[in-house]
Chain A
Amino acid sequence: MANLNIDSIKERTFDAIVIGSGMSGGWAAKELTGNGLKTLMLERGRDVKHIKDYPTTNMYPWEFEHRGVIPTAVQEANPIVNRCYAFREDAEHFFVKDHEHPYVQEKPFDWIRGYQVGGKSLMWARQTQRWSDFDFEGPARDGFAVDWPIRYKDIAPWYSYVEKFAGIAGNKDGIPELPDGEFLPAYPLNDVEEYFSKHVKNNYQNRHVISARCAHLSKPNQVHIDQGRTQCQNRILCQRGCPFGGYFSANASTIPWALKSGNLTLRPFSVVQSIIYDDKLGKATGVRVVDSNTKETIEYFARIIFVNAAALNTNLVLLNSTSSRFPNGLGNDSGVLGKYFAFHNYSAHIGAQYDGFKDLTTDGRNPAGGGYIPRFRNVYKQETDFLRGYASGFSAYRFRQHKYDGVGAALKENMVKGDLGPWYVGSHMMGETIPKESNYVKLDASKKDEWGVPLLNINVDYDDNDEKMKKDYIEQLTKMFTSAGFTNIKPSVNHQAPGLDIHEMGGARMGNDPKTSILNKWNQVHACKNVFVTDGACMTSTSCQNPSLTYMALTVRAADHAVSEMKKGNV
């Protein structure tokens, strides 16, 4: 019996454990297994194998029972996830339904989740821009949060490393506040986007409209072909999973690569309850998992642990990992765990028309979605009554306009015929929010989920800075649109709750000082060096770039450090 037990522990012991299999967890697994570490990847949801488990990927519109529309009963049962733009009949199976994992909204918060192998990397919007020192130095310069413990030079080579493997389409634009990367050919701007780009360049200092940089294989290199991926076919059905591997996802890229090494054990249906901390050894020794099918509790052991459960669940796991050394959550000597939580402000949009380029249109589809306007507010100096700024999407498009009045043969004709309408242009804001102590998540005092884990209690809201920034976005974009000769300019604001941006960040922030942060400059828990947190939870500030590329770069950098520290015997 004793021997059996030893064997069982042996079978449950690995060099490394990665909690989560999405955007950042996939990279952790790829890097750790690539360095010869026997790695266990834990995923709370089901397995999703590349291509094989994309049931809708090759379906035509008419093959969907409701032609894409989510039935009312499902909408009414899922008010939260139903607000997500991608929750449609073709991809609804990749989204967590509201009842599947409840949480407490002290203030309204739309928590959009994908519990499956690959996580949200299957359905993400694929926009990938680097941060610069204007971002990393933000908190120190503007006096909020804490100073980032790293600068651009620390992460730049890792951005390159990630970009080469993932495949990022973009131009070298030479903009200091949005550093260039290792790019595949960009998806070009169309004529109206290009016109606006030139207009802005000629009329504004330090404002740019560039091709959006995105994780699509516009022209694959050998390393992408080696992953079994091929050129993006401009389907723009990415949220279904791509049979070509045309965009980057953990399913198409990092996880199969890690599996090929022979060093990865992938365990779906594994809800992590907590990380096990050994007071005597003074380090984490493993994780406690509930098998979501059998409800059995199982412990796994490893020398190092990467926490990549996605920002909110990572906070949940850390807060729930209590011991006599850490009664308030793993590594939470400072008391800041769960606090300084932030997100992106996506609450404004502006649309207009342009009467030029009547003889031109586009043909096919643009995976990049159009243009991107990097942050131009408060970049070189503070110039407004709010802190920080916003990036903006920008795109132009036109389409046939059909007449739908009347009935009969004429109506049928009109479904086919229809004049090409004018060019429409649109932009949406992506604003930085300021992490604050009063925006926090914590464990609910009484309610638990079906796996015995306390519910997450979320208390996050907008503030005055966000309101002022939104107003400025509308003013500035209106001016830029007006001076470009756009007409029928229609700004609009929405009142979406935080969370629907799906860029939740922070709670276990990086910092130099263990008294005010949870993680050090290598994403190691200050007080428990063999635990690494490299997903959105680690973010000290949010800047306004889409964050996934930065999570990926931080992950490979931390994994490299972890391997080197293991070799030195430091962890």
Chain B
Amino acid sequence: MNRRTVIKNLALIVGGAALLPSCVHPDGTTYIQLKHINISSDKQKLIGDISETIIPKTTTPGAKDLNLPAFVLKMLDDCYTKKDQQAFLTGLGQFNEMVQKKYNSSFSDLSATARENVLTTLEKSTKPAKDPQKAIKPVRESEKSIDAPKKKPEVPPLNFFYGAIKQQTIFGYTNSQYFMTKQVVYELVPGRYNVHFPVKNLKA
């Protein structure tokens, strides 16, 4: 099997980012050729490290194991407006400056604990991340009329940058095959509707 096939199969296993053309950074990180914005391999690595800090590898897979950095990039590339992509890039620059200034180091060179600190400090200066499930349009007819016009509040670029990575990392994580088969099992074919279901019988 050649490298492309390996990457493709790996991507198929973790899903989603499947058909993206990939390249390899000198440090060995696979990075993604984006269609609408230009994000260098260094910056992609930073996004990957932030993503991994949000959902780290523990006894269970982390963001990188699940190919979530590639998913974050894909969503950023395909599902954000030009304006938001610009805000993201501005925020990325500010993030690097902020970390350099405060910690005299790049984010990637910090210890895992220090990385967590950077992000939680930044998070406290902004609103809590939105429930990523709410980004999904409701399916029921009864809910269609509450679908308010999408109006994003103005968020400072730095917070927007981090918020976007966090939202898409969580969205990717909770919608990953791993999570939906091993953590909270998604049923494609429930085959039932029980109306009087005792809460105590719920799993976990």
Chain B hits for A415, CB < 8 A: 170, 173-174, 179, 183-184
A412-445 vs B, Cβ < 8 Å mask (1 yes, 0 no): 1001110010000011100000000000000000
Chain B hits for A365, CB < 8 A: 190, 193
Q: If the complex has contacts A62-B16, A233-B189, A235-B190, are A404 and B170 also in contact, measured as CB distance less than 8 A?
A: yes
Chain B hits for A88, CB < 8 A: 136-137
Counting chain B CB atoms within 10 Å of each CB, the highest count among A125, A367, A404 belongs to: A404
Q: Please determine whether A69 and B56 come into contact, CB atoms closer than 8 angstroms.
A: no
Q: Please determine whether B143 and A426 come into contact, CB atoms closer than 8 angstroms.
A: yes
B142 interfacial contact with A, CB 8 Å = yes
Q: Please determine whether A66 and B79 come into contact, CB atoms closer than 8 angstroms.
A: yes
Cβ contact of B18, chosen from A65, A239, A428, A496, cutoff 8 A: A65
- Inter-chain CA distance A70–B144, complex, in Å, is 16
Which residues of chain B (96-147) have a CB below 8 Å from chain A? 116, 119-120, 123, 128-132, 135-147
A189 interfacial contact with B, CB 8 Å = yes
Cβ contact of B193, chosen from A70, A76, A362, cutoff 8 A: A362
* Min distance, Cβ B152 to any Cβ of chain A, angstroms: 12
* Min distance, Cβ A121 to any Cβ of chain B, angstroms: 15
Chain A hits for B143, CB < 8 A: 85, 349, 426, 428
B151 interfacial contact with A, CB 8 Å = no
- Inter-chain CA distance A66–B116, complex, in Å, is 27
Chain B hits for A73, CB < 8 A: 36, 78
Chain A hits for B195, CB < 8 A: 188-191, 194, 362, 366
* Min distance, Cβ A285 to any Cβ of chain B, angstroms: 41
- Which 6 A/B pairs are nearest by Cβ-Cβ distance? A85-B144, A125-B141, A393-B142, A364-B192, A363-B197, A62-B15
Which of A's residues lie within 8 Å of B, judged by CB?
Answer: 58, 60-73, 76, 83-88, 125, 127, 187-191, 194, 233-237, 239, 346-349, 351, 358-367, 369-370, 393, 395, 402, 404-409, 411-412, 415-417, 420, 426-428, 492, 494, 496, 500
Which of B's residues lie within 8 Å of A, judged by CB?
Answer: 15-16, 18-19, 36, 53-56, 58, 60, 74-75, 78-81, 116, 119-120, 123, 128-132, 135-148, 166, 170-177, 179-180, 183-184, 186, 188-202, 204
**Given A72-B79, A365-B190, A405-B129, 17 more pairs with CB closer than 8 A:** A69-B136, A73-B78, A85-B139, A88-B137, A187-B193, A191-B196, A235-B189, A359-B200, A361-B199, A365-B193, A366-B193, A369-B141, A393-B141, A407-B54, A409-B58, A415-B174, A416-B204
A-B contact pairs, 14 of them (CB 8 A): A61-B175, A63-B16, A65-B19, A67-B16, A69-B136, A71-B78, A236-B139, A349-B143, A364-B192, A393-B141, A407-B54, A412-B55, A420-B202, A428-B144
